């Protein structure tokens, strides 16, 4: 395999740019393809999604032009795992080739039922306190009113999507390996069945745990990229 595309989906509040600096460390045969969501980055002027179905349909339209027969993998962190999961279901539903590998990071499987907090309905102060506990949000953003005024609507819209999402249909059943990454001290997944990702594939499901919280992918970025490189090399002859 000469080349493989890596489609990356961001976490809540983030744009595709969170993956841009991965390019420096990714193997040259891996073509990085961060997928931008409406309402942020270069799509800042577009309205937020009203539902997960609307979001997935939109992202699929963006991604579908890239499905040219080149082998591809998908990476999602936190909210990005829901997008990755539902996007792959749509890709397969439309008769397209499955990915050669899937990376699910910082979240339990979407088909697992959990009690919804609906934090997107909280006041700004309460909402900020909640997201600060997860980490990943820079203090300079919270303390800068202009930045906060830009950031909060994006984050709140993303949490509305997550908290209104309901898994429908059959559990994703892949014919490729899955790599699951998580933080040892991630309050978001503690007590949740992260091992449930095994149910989403007929092949292998491998786990990597980092000595950090929800945003281990920032602190351990090079380690995460190293795993991506090694795993995709193993799939070169798939």
**CATH code, domain carrying 195:** 3.40.50.1820
Handedness of CA 181, 215, 55, 194 (dihedral sign): positive
Residue-range definition of the domain harbouring residue 104? 4-113+170-234
Q: For residues 207 and 201, give the distance between their C-alpha atoms in angstroms, rounded to a whole number.
A: 14
pLDDT score of 183 more than 80: yes
The pLDDT value given to residue 238: 41
Cβ burial, residue 2 (10 Å; 0-12/13-18/19+):
exposed
For the segment 42-55, the average pLDDT, to the nearest whole number, is 94
Span 70-124, pLDDT tens digits: 999 999 999 999 999 999 999 999 999 999 999 999 999 999 887 677 777 667 7
Residue 159 lies in a domain: no
Q: For residues 158 and 179, give the distance between their C-alpha atoms in angstroms, rounded to a whole number.
A: 24
Residue 93 lies in a domain: yes
- Facing residues of 176 across strands? none
pLDDT tier at 126 (50, 70, 90 boundaries)? confident
* Structure token digits, residue 179: 């790599």
Q: Are 225 and 26 a contacting pair, CB within 8 Å?
A: yes
The pLDDT value given to residue 127: 75
Helices (H) and strands (E) in the chain, counts: 7, 6
Residue 165 lies in a domain: no
The pLDDT value given to residue 151: 78
The pLDDT value given to residue 117: 74
Residue 151 lies in a domain: no
Domain count, the chain: 1
Q: For residues 215 and 132, give the distance between their C-alpha atoms in angstroms, rounded to a whole number.
A: 11
Phi, psi of 98 (to 5 degrees): -70, 160
Span 137-154, pLDDT tens digits: 555 555 556 666 777 888
The pLDDT value given to residue 81: 97
The pLDDT value given to residue 231: 96
Residue 69 lies in a domain: yes
pLDDT score of 176 more than 60: yes
Residue 157: how many CA atoms within 13 Å on its side-chain side? Answer: 18
If one counts every other C-beta atom within 10 angstroms of the C-beta of residue 76, the result is 26
Residue 21 lies in a domain: yes
The pLDDT value given to residue 237: 44
Residue 78 lies in a domain: yes
Residue 139 lies in a domain: no
Span 187-238, pLDDT tens digits: 888 778 899 999 999 999 999 999 999 889 999 999 999 999 999 987 554 4
For the segment 17-42, the average pLDDT, to the nearest whole number, is 95
The pLDDT value given to residue 140: 53
């Amino acid at each position: 395999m000469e080349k493989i595309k890596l489609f990356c989906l961001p976490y809540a509040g983030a744009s595709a740019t969170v993956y841009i600096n991965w390019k420096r460390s990714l193997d040259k045969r891996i073509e990085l393809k961060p997928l931008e969501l409406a309402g942020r980055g270069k799509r800042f002027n577009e309205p937020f999604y009203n539902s997960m179905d609307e979001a997935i349909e939109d992202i699929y339209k963006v991604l579908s032009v890239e499905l040219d027969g080149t082998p591809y993998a998908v990476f999602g962190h936190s909210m990005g795992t829901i997008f990755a999961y539902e996007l792959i279901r749509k890709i397969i539903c439309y008769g397209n080739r499955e990915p050669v590998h899937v990376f699910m990071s910082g979240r339990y499987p979407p088909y697992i039922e959990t009690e919804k907090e609906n934090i997107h309905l909280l006041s700004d102060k309460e909402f900020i306190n909640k997201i600060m506990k997860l980490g990943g949000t820079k203090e300079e953003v919270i303390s800068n009113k202009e930045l906060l005024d830009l950031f909060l609507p994006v984050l709140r819209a993303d949490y509305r999507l997550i908290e209104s999402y309901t898994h429908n249909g059959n559990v994703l059943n892949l014919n490729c390996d899955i790599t699951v990454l998580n933080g040892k001290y991630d309050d978001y997944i503690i007590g949740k069945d992260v091992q449930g990702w095994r149910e989403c594939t007929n092949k292998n499901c491998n786990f990597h745990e980092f000595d950090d919280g929800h945003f281990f992918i920032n602190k351990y970025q090079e380690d995460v990229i190293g795993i991506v490189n090694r795993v995709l090399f193993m799939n070169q002859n798939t």
